[in-house]
Structures are given as structure tokens and as C-alpha cells.
Amino acid sequence: MVGAWPLRGRTGEYEATRRALVAEPGAAVLVGDAGVGKTRLARELAHDLGQAGRAIEWVAATQASAGVPFGPFVRFLGDDVPQTSETLLLHQISTRLLAATPSPDRPVLVVDDAHLLDDGSAALVYQLASSGAFRVLATVRSGQRCPDAIQRLWRDGGAARIDVTPFQTTQVRQLLEGALAGPVDTLTTSRLGRATGGNPLFLRELVEAGLADASLRQIDGVWQWTGARTLSSRVTDLLQERFDGCSDPELETLRLVALGEPIDVDLLAAVVPDERVEALVDRGLLHPDSSGATVQLPHPLYGEVLRAGMSPVTARRLRRALVRAMKEPTDPDQLLRWVTLSLDAGERPDNPDLLAAASRALLLFDPALAERLAAAADPTLPARTLRLARAVGYQGRFAEAEDLLARLDPRELDDAQFAAFLRIRGENFCEGLQRPDLALAYLDALPTPLPPTVRHAAACVRIEALVYGGDYRAAIDVAEAEPGFLDQPEVGPVPTLVMALEQVGRSDEALQLAQAYEKAAALPTRFAGYGRILVTAGRLDEAEQVAEQHIAAGTAWDWAEFICYGLRVRAQVDFARGLFQASAQGLRECVSLARDLSLGYFVRLALSGLSTAEAACGRIAEARAAMAESESLAAASPAVRALIEQDQLAYAFVEGCEGSMRSAYDRLDRLVASCVAESQPRRAVEALHLMARFGYVSRAASQVGDLASLCDSPVPHAHEGHIRALASGDAQSLLDVSARYAELGMIHQAAEVVDTAAARFLAAGDRRAAGRATSERDRLLALCDTGPFRWWASAASSSPLSEREQQVATLAATGLTNRQIAARLVLSVRTVENHLQRIYVKTGLTKRSDLADWLAAQSPTT
């Protein structure tokens, strides 16, 4: 169970209401839908005003008291209610109210659900407010009949009307994270916000139900909804109240909308009278769009309650009525709706309509619906198998997709179908099964020559397989042999070509191709690699915009993959800027979501990033855990070369953060040799730069020039400048490099370089320059969320431990035994024991369990 549900996201309404009560006009009316938080806000205000010394009187109107004159105020008449006129009763209640709430300031009368007041009580409230005897705060449910006296409060200016509206997505996240005391993933926030329409009461009930059946649970420290959504009886009863006054024909109209929303008004008018629809709109039970062309229920929970209350027979009858009323679909979206309704009504559309609708569902990232539609088509049709394979593959069932495709006989396919078959199977081999070697083997076994359409598809698959296998130069050679592949985004396999161009140092071409592809894309922000190429090109602001576009599109259309892509790009931007805590939080969410989506390739990319972010924050155990999971996934997909290289860089960074510099150097040296052999200068420069930062400067400086010259991105050139400045020992050159990093937005990296410059100035005896550099370092670090790494000059000089002792202490603090530490560092157990004894002497500690706290206090990275 959630504890006290926090008051979040209502700062504006709270402040406006408080001002209206304590200043002028001295009264306020909170107006909003049921469950939107009016009463919660009124209670918070009453509590705070009471704490400030004001007398508070709370009155609640109910359906039962609505038929009783002065029902909510009867308690102020005493035991003997006099039989007298309403005017005298009103005066007597006013007098006793004032006597019951003595206060140096005007007392506050809170009237909850004032729309349910009888006329006499409403007149009393109006008199108390207008006379100034009380400050009045009332809550009113929108869309309900309200006594004239209460409406006059705000119409005549005697009270401020404060509309309490449903929460937007940002407010929903604030409320959820406040109630759950932890981060909530973007997809869960979006889906709960959409399901509840931003209604806090409904949101709380769904959260309580999700916690009770474990549909809502923490995964890697992030709250995520993983099960089906259930409605509590409280929510169901509250929503049913809105339908209590509806006639049977009106309920039937609402049920029709629930089965087909959003539904065209013209279509609805073909089944029910226009005036009935208009009446339901006027009562707030149907919401039209801005043009009035479609209507839908106030929010999705209304539809769930209405559908749950229908028998299967009724639902089938109503769906058939809608299907019969629908005209011939004129666009893909209408066709998709008509086909889906027809299937739900027990009717079977023609095969072409089913397959066209399945294609539309795939384009709209609804593979579950696409699978259902394709499965309803004739199983002997190759087009049915192709769409079904694509749909199950999009749902992470890659082996099942391969089984479907393997049963197709290419000789029975026409050229267009065979081309589609190759693209789908190649994508499933490379991205799904992560076996680019199988894709290449299949292509090599094809008979030649191939028809032009099929040859084009085979070239696309070959490029994808070569890129996934890490043979970027060969992939570009294939693309250059195909007309249009490198300059026409609608022709070639752009995402994989962008990766290939980027890795061989042709970042400008990669970026131009990615931008052209984005501009020509049928749907916005559909290219996941666009943001990544902007990050590696040092264009962080643009990359952040793309990340937010991905996340916005994902939340608006419930496209989980887009949210995942956007989270990773945003985390890359945060990491580049030195916001490592934010990067780690985003990547934890990304990993969790990618796992749930069965995006194996993407899970490994995100885990690699997460390990470096956790290590940058000083959380070595968490970094190692992320790498261990990536290793376990790598065992099932050894052929994906790009992931192996990414993991090696991550491993080296983690080792550097824990102090295992020699191990990191050996790993980086092997990676550089591999990248040079495979013509991958960009990755090689990254590895050399990390090597130099860890202290192996001469080795990095001897190679970086030739490799950086092959890259046209500013980031590798900045890295080259850093390496050369380190090798020269010139402090001013280091300051110049720091300024270059700062221009690129790489703030933490800029701080690291200027930290080295400060040490060089100090070693040269120039204390004034050292002081200026130190101030600049501190200014830059203030823009980041993490302090210096352990290899910084300032961090290294402050530790009493040697490098090896620091390594042993760090590993011991993570819980490793002496034997495990010895195996990790290639030492004897006795040597590890001796190191620990010296560590205890230098730190003043007496036991192993205190090491973690000591290291945390020493290291600004935690």
C-alpha cells in the first residue's frame, strides 16, 4: 500500500486559492471533475490555514442531505430544532456558526461538494461569504447541476473560481514518484496518465491495485507496470455514478462509443439520433474533438467500465451495427478500424483488407494487432506469412519468426514478395537473433543472377549483416556499388549505413544521410540512430532535441520502442555533459524497458552505457553487475562485433574507475589494434584517449595522429588535442583543449583537462595560474552532478593509498573475498592480505566492512 498520497503538481491552484481566501475576495470555489483532487486540495488548505491560527469549520454535502433543508448545517441547531421560517433558521445557524468558531481573524468555512447543497444551505453559504462573516472555500463537481446561490459566488465576483484540471504527464510523474518514493519509467507514466485521464483519484486506485497484484513493481530501482491493468471496485462504482442518470438509449449510445472510440459523429448519427449525441456532449459524458467531427468518452476508464458491463451478445450486436453503418473505408486508418471492428463482431473481412490492415498496424507500431489481423487471413498466402513473421518478430519472438520464414519456398514468391522476404529475414537474423553470420551464409547460397528488385534487397541485407558483424569498410563498398544507396535515403538501408560511415570516420556523410532520411521519413523521429550520430558529432543540443522528440512520439502513440531509443540518446547526452547520475537513471529505465520489449541488441547497448555511467558515479558493484548481464547476453550472440567493441570500452572505463589501470590499458591496447586492423579510426581514437587519461600517454600519442586524421568529426580531434597536450606537458595547451571541450558541451571532460593544467602550473611554481585553473575546474564541476574521477591529479594527490592499494580497497568494498581479489588482479592471496593490512594502517580502519564508507567519503564521484 502507498502511504500518504502526496499533494504534488497543484502549486499554482494552491497559491491562487490561498491568496483568494486570505486576501480578496475572501472566498474561492474549486471546480473540477470527480476524483480530480478538489477535496484533497481543500483539506491541505484548511490544514495549513488552521496551523496559521485560523478557525476552520468543515461541512460536507451529500446526496442524502440534499433533500433536507439545511441538512449539512443541522448540527448547529442543537438537539431541539425549532419549527420556524427558513429565514429565522438561516439567521440562527449563522449565529451559532460564528459562536462555534471564535477566531481573531475571520474563520474559514469549507463546504465540500457544494453542488449537492439544498437551496437553503446554498443561500446560507452565499450570505456568510458576501457578508464577510466567514471566508468561504467550496468544492463543486463540474458537469453537475449547481444551486444558483453557489454559482453566484463566482459570477458576482464574491469568490474566485479555481478550475482544478486533470494532471498532465509531468504532473502525473511527480505524483507517482512522490507516492512510490522512487523513479517511475516513462512508459508506465504515460500509460497510467492516459488510462486515468490525469485524474489523481483514479491514478491512486490503479497504483494500489497494481501494487496489490505486483503488476506495478520495482525493476533495477525503477517502478514499472508489467502486468494487466485491473480496476478497483471503488473506481468502478465512482465511474458508474456518472451513468446513473442515463436512460437506456443513452447508455446504448455510450456503449457504442466505448466499442469504437474515437468515433466519427457522422457514423454515430447513422445508428442513433443526433440530438442524443448532442445531449451527452452537453452533459460532459462525451467529448468532441476541436472540429466536432469525432467524439470519445471523457477518458479510457469510462470505456473499460462500459465494456466490462456489456454481455458478449450485446457487444457483438453493437459492433455489427457500427460495421454496417460504416461507409467504404477511404484511408488506411479507417480501413484498420473497420477490419478490427469486423473481426470483433464475428465477421471475416476479405484477405486483401486483412493484410492491408495488418500492414497499417505494423506501421503504427502495434505488432500485437498486426499479428491478430494477419493470422485471420488465408494461411496459404505468402503475404500472410510475411506480415505474421514481421509482427511476431517485432514482439521479440525472433525464433518463431524464423520458423515462419523458413517454411516459405522462395520459388513460390514473385520478385516483390521475395525482396520483402529477404529484408524481413535479414533483419530478423541480424537484429533479432543477432546472427549476422547466418544472414551472410543465406545470401551467399542464393542463385545468381538475381532480378533487380531482389538484388537490391539482397544488397540491403548484406550491408546490414556486414555492419552488425563489424566489417564497416566492406559494407560501404557494397553501398558504393549500388546506385543511390549513399545519397538517396529512400533507397538504401540508412540506419546501418550511417553506423558504418560513422565508424570509419566519415561522420559528416553519416550525418547528412541521417538528416535526409529523417526529412523523408513517413513517420516523425523513426530513425533511432539519428540522435546517436549527433552525439558522436559533438552536437549535443540537437541530439537532446531528437531524444525528446522520440520520447514525445513514444508517449503520444504508445510506441515503447521510441521511448527506449529516446531514453538512450538522452542518457548519452547527459553522459557527455558530465551528468552521470542522470545518465545512469535514464539507462536503468532504458534497460528495463528494452528487456521487456525483448530488444536483445538494444539491451546490450544500454547495459554497456549503464556500466560506464554507474562506474562514473563510483558505483563499481552496480557497474560490474551491468557488465555481467551484458556478458551473459553476448554468449548467445558472439557474431555481433560492434557490441563486443562497445563492451570492451565500457570494461576499460569501469576498470579505470576502480583503479585497475594496467588491466584497462591492456584491454584498450588490444582494442586499438583490432580497430586499426578493421579500419575503424573513430573507435580507436576513443580507446587511445581513454588510455592517455589513465596515464599511458606516450603510447596513445604515438598512434593518435594518423587515426584522428581519418575522422572528420570535432570530437576525435578534440581527443587528439588532449593527448598531445598531455604528452607535451604544456599547461596552456591543456587550457586550450579544455575550452574546446566546453564549446562542445563536454563539461566534465573540460573540467578534467583544466584540473591537469592546474597540477602542471603548480609543479612549475606558478601558483597564481594554478589558482585560476583550479577555480575554473570548480566552476565547471558545479555544472555537473559528479565530482572528479580517481585518475585526476587533484583526486590522486588527496588519497593516502597507492594505486594498487586503492584497487584492493575498492574491490574489497564491493564484497569480493581475498581469493576473488587475487584472481581479479593476478596476485597471490598473501599479497592481497598484506595490501589490506597497509590499507587499515593508513586509513585508521579496523575492519573490512568500513571500507565502503571510507571510500565514499574520499571519492567525490559517489
How far, in Å, CA of 748 to CA of 162, rounded? 45
Q: Rounded to the nearest 5°, which phi and psi values hold at 789?
A: -80, 165
pLDDT band at 862 (very low <50, low <70, confident <90, very high): very low
pLDDT band at 615 (very low <50, low <70, confident <90, very high): very high
pLDDT band at 345 (very low <50, low <70, confident <90, very high): very high
Q: What size, in residues, is the chain?
A: 862
Q: What is the reported pLDDT for 526?
A: 55
Q: Which residue pairs from 753-757 have beta carbons closer than 8 angstroms and sit at least 24 positions apart in sequence?
A: 753/722, 753/725, 754/780, 755/788, 755/792, 755/793, 755/794, 756/726, 756/792, 756/793, 757/731, 757/732
How far, in Å, CA of 450 to CA of 709, rounded? 40
Sequence letter at residue 89: L
467: closest CA among 632, 680, 754, 154? 680
How far, in Å, CA of 575 to CA of 747, rounded? 10
How far, in Å, CA of 157 to CA of 245, rounded? 32
Q: What is the reported pLDDT for 233?
A: 79
pLDDT at 412 over 60: yes
What mean pLDDT is predicted for residues 304-322? 92
545-582 burial by CB neighbour count: b if 16+ within 10 A, else e?
A: bbbebbbbbbbeeebbbbbbbbbbbbbbbbbbbbbbbb
Q: What is the reported pLDDT for 475?
A: 94
More confident residue, 596 or 693: 693
HSE toward the beta carbon, residue 159, CA cutoff 13 A: 32
Q: What is the reported pLDDT for 85?
A: 55
Q: What is the reported pLDDT for 484?
A: 80
Q: Report the Cα–Cα distance between both ends of the chain, in Å, rounded.
A: 32
C-alpha triplet 524, 528, 534: angle, nearest 5°: 100
State whether residue 137 is helix, strand or coil. Answer: strand
How far, in Å, CA of 537 to CA of 514, rounded? 12
| 507-540 pLDDT tens trace | 999 888 888 887 776 554 456 678 888 998 899 9
Name the percent of the chain lying above pLDDT 90.
Answer: 47
Q: State how far the alpha carbon of 258 is from the alpha carbons of 296, 300, 309, 318, in Å.
A: 8, 9, 11, 10
Q: What is the reported pLDDT for 361?
A: 93
Sequence letter at residue 37: G
Q: How far is CA 135 from the centre of its chain?
A: 44
688: closest CA among 664, 713, 710, 712? 664
| 28-46 pLDDT tens trace | 999 998 888 899 899 999 9
| 372-393 pLDDT tens trace | 999 999 999 999 999 999 999 9
| 840-860 pLDDT tens trace | 766 767 778 777 777 766 654
Contact 338, 320 (CB under 8 A): no
- Residue 841 grid coordinates: 594502517
pLDDT band at 98 (very low <50, low <70, confident <90, very high): low
Diameter of the chain measured on Cα atoms? 105
What mean pLDDT is predicted for residues 704-722? 94
pTM score > 0.85 for this model?
no
- Residue 211 grid coordinates: 501494487
Give the ranges where 483-537 is alpha helix by DSSP (H): 494-503, 507-520, 529-536
What mean pLDDT is predicted for residues 47-76? 81
Contact 472, 436 (CB under 8 A): no
Which of 483-487, 501-505, 727-731 is the least confident region?
A: 483-487
Which of 176-185, 544-553, 794-803 is the least confident region?
A: 794-803
State whether residue 294 is helix, strand or coil. Answer: strand
Q: What is the reported pLDDT for 860?
A: 47
Do the bridges between strand 294-296 and strand 287-288 make them parallel or antiparallel, or are there none, so unpaired?
antiparallel
What mean pLDDT is predicted for residues 435-460? 93
122: closest CA among 83, 76, 167, 69? 69
C-alpha triplet 673, 679, 683: angle, nearest 5°: 65
Q: What is the reported pLDDT for 371?
A: 97
